[in-house]
Structure 1
């Protein structure tokens, strides 16, 4: 997908897992290019099979496309933010893999809601009536309106106030206020049925417990469930987020900044058992799915670990690091220290990258033992965990470097990871 060969220096920097402006810029550009490509692919699919799409859905899809174009002419930065939001990627993945029929029609109807969201944030005038399947009107990255059973809602946005009510123009259910200037990242709302996303303290990261695409059905074994907005302890999540960011800032300020800028959404999962769980979706970089953490250290580690799964997934779309396995043949699998099951080379690469990031974090925490405000137990825990994971990453890197499944870029990426781990290993005895 990438047009020009990547700068080897930038790739080497990404391989170390250390935050850097050049790497972040490459990944942001790659993510957006990927979203535009997938959106265009969906448009082509609809055009080729338009006779199979329900007429009302097709009209809404085409109206949404035109509205999205209007919003982009007014505020291209806002449209980019909407398209790059994690759940937009999950929606595109679902729509592009759904067979033709009613299921695809339901996904296609979501484009109009994305376009409405972009238009409202961009300050564009909107006056239209939209269907609300299930009695819910989602505005991705902003919130949702619960229609109270109404099958259609009218959106009237011809000023700074946006009124959302019954399809006949009566019975206003929600009022949104939008900024005339500024970044327009959020809309504030009130009124019956309005549910707005909460921003986590100190930045623009949302606690995403509203979007219908925040968690695919049947994810995980056993299947995981996304926490409902009404059942989410928003204050508790805010407290844990603040404590985790404070711990990261005291340990590694650059990583704390990267987490704040790169994690667009934290998706609460329903707990199952006592162990904290974190996950990411390759189609939705920037979203971290997790159960409530046991403490600041658990959450900080989960954020760093899962963010690096997202970073590597985005990079692999830009610069393939391993080759696809030939169809019809079982892919080789390998044993790694942090899993009980054997993993394909893609899983080994993902695991190495995420654990190298943690090793880097723990190394800094252990060496910065006397930093003001950092608890001693964090230093001790970090030293122990670095020592535990170090040999596991060494062994998994050997698997990667001996494999013929990596591309040339992937092999060099693995070499740079090994080089960075070696730089951390030089002071290993001093961490105890």
Structure 2
């Protein structure tokens, strides 16, 4: 297993929410290595445990799958909820409890996740392929109430909504479209908040997945995909490169929340809201967003830059984190007129 490094150009691109497919490829490679290490740790943790036999059988099944069908093995290892499932099994073994790995046995039988609904959207030659994960374990890691398994009518509704959102991204936000197409594999349908408010989430141990309730506005669904997939990217980057020190008791103001946040959570929120700022800046520059885009852009630019200043003054960032947030802040400051000249031409304009 090779060591992973983050080349300076990829680091800068990620910090500016412009990672694209090269950054996703790097992050995915890191996730694969992480999960391989977790599988090895699971085998070691089971030594002398009552569940050792069953755990070893699953371990050997993965080894055999890798030998027999490398593509299927990769699909199992990059399943969005494998990390969460392995982590729970490791905790259970450490506490002396049972490690139920039947979900992993089933996953090896069906790595293609045939129970999930396949969705494909195409706009101007740009394609998005993903699955609607409306059943299966560990989706509760997203922290919101899950929707019931989708009816055929609801699948059609989600498909239409994702197709419309993809058109927004492909035509007006090509950088984010490229990144999402490269790395987003799964959307988990959620129920809205009881008051009707739409909700969305990324889970720290669910690389490739986001969860969301279904908004009526395709622009807001496009924004949700951008916002939540930035959380996913930062989580994967943190697995490769620490950006802040160990948690402390200090808490910091986040302009978008009533409760003070630890530095790590503030970094996550600031990075995701760079995406929100960037999204509305591009909507404003394109002329598509009207007055709403101007209001949202002004609000989120101010909030995100304030949070970046707080992070830089916190003393909790490591040198890499200081570089990351400095680049992030520069990206926040990019004027809308610059987005108008660069934003619609795609990654290579």
Report if TM-score (shorter chain) is over 0.5: yes
What's 1:153 paired with?
none
- Contact 2:4–2:240 (CA<8 Å) still a contact in 1? no
Q: What residue number does 2:254 align with? A: 336
What is the SS of the residue equivalent to 1:86? coil
Distance 1:419 1:426, change over 3 A: farther
Cα distance in 1, alignment partners of residues 10 and 338 from structure 2: 26
| Preserved contact between residue 65 and residue 112 of structure 1 (Cα < 8 Å) | no
The Cα shift of 1:332 comes to 0.6
**Are 1:301 and 2:223 matched, yes or no?**
yes
State whether residues 197 and 209 of structure 1, in contact with CA within 8 Å, keep that contact through their aligned partners in structure 2.
yes
TM-score (norm: length of structure 2): 0.88
| Separation of aligned partners in 1, 2:202 and 2:22 | 23
2:46–2:93 contact (8 Å) kept in structure 1: no
State the partner residue of 2:345.
none
Q: Which residue of 1 aligns with 2:117?
A: 198
How far residue 380 of structure 1 moved from its aligned partner, in angstroms, is: 3.2
Shift of 1:27: 0.8
Matched, 1:95 2:72: no
Which residue pairs with 2:45 in the alignment?
Answer: 45
Partner of 1:400: 311
Distance in 2 of aligned mates of 1:289 and 1:197: 14
Q: Give the direction of change, closer, same or farther, for the CA distance of 1:424–1:95 in structure 2 (3 Å limit).
A: farther
Q: Which has the larger radius of gyration?
A: 1
- Higher RCO (C-alpha under 8 Å, 6+ residues apart): 2
CA distance in 2, matches of 1:252, 1:10: 19
**CA separation in 2, counterparts of 1:98 and 1:360?**
42
1:262 alignment partner in structure 2: 183
Residues 271, 21 of structure 1: alpha-carbon distance in 2 compared, 3 angstrom cutoff: closer
Question: Counterpart of 1:248?
Answer: 169
Gaps of 5+ in 1: 119-140, 144-195, 370-375
Question: Is 2:80 aligned against 1:86?
Answer: yes
Deviation, structure 1 residue 19? 3.4
What displacement does 1:96 show?
2.0
Tell me the residue number matched to 1:16. 16
Sort the Cα spacing of 1:4 and 1:34 in 2 relative to 1 into closer, same or farther, 3 A: closer
User: Partner of 1:386 in structure 2?
Assistant: 297
Distance in 2 separating the partners of 1:23 and 1:394: 24
Q: Any conservation in 1 of the 2:103–2:137 contact (CA below 8 Å)?
A: no
1:294, CA displacement in angstroms? 2.6
Per-residue deviation, residues 309-351 of structure 1 (Å, max 9, x unmatched): 01001001100000112xxxx5211112111111110111111
Contact 1:333/1:342 (<8 A) preserved: yes
Q: Shift of the alpha carbon at 1:252?
A: 1.4
* Residues in 2 aligned to 1:205 and 1:367: alpha-carbon distance in whole angstroms: 29
For the residue of structure 1 that corresponds to 2:120, the secondary structure is coil
Are 1:244 and 1:300, in contact at CA under 8 Å, matched by a contact in 2?
yes
Query: Which whole-Å deviations, capped at 9, do the CAs of 1:195-248 have from their partners, x for residues lacking one?
Result: x311112343100012122223xx64xxx3222215581111111111110111
- Are 2:312 and 1:319 equivalent residues in the alignment? no
- Contact kept, 8 Å, 2:117 with 2:133, in 1: the verdict is yes
CA distance in structure 2 between the aligned counterparts of 1:62 and 1:270, rounded to whole angstroms: 38
Distance (whole Å) between structure 2 residues aligned to residue 2 and residue 422 of structure 1: 37
Q: Match of 2:346?
A: none
Equivalent-residue separation in structure 2 for 1:425 and 1:333 (angstroms): 32
Contact 1:305/1:358, CA 8 A, preserved across alignment = yes
Q: Is the 8 A contact 1:61 1:112 kept in 2?
A: no
Does residue 417 of structure 1 match 2:328?
A: yes
Unaligned runs of 5+ in 2: 122-127, 342-349
Pick the aligned partner of 2:159 from 234, 238, 242.
Answer: 238
Greater percentage in helix = 2
Deviation at 1:61, TM superposition (A): 3.1
2:147 counterpart of 1:227:
yes
Structure having the higher strand fraction is 1
Residues 12, 204 of structure 1: CA spacing in aligned structure 2 closer, same or farther, 3 A cutoff?
same
User: C-alpha deviations, 1:51-80, integer Å up to 9, x for none?
Assistant: x32xxxx44433332222222123223211
Task: Give the Cα separation in 2 of the matches to 1:422 and 1:396.
Answer: 13
Tell me the C-alpha RMSD between the 2 structures.
2.5
Q: Which of 67, 70, 73 matches 1:76?
A: 70
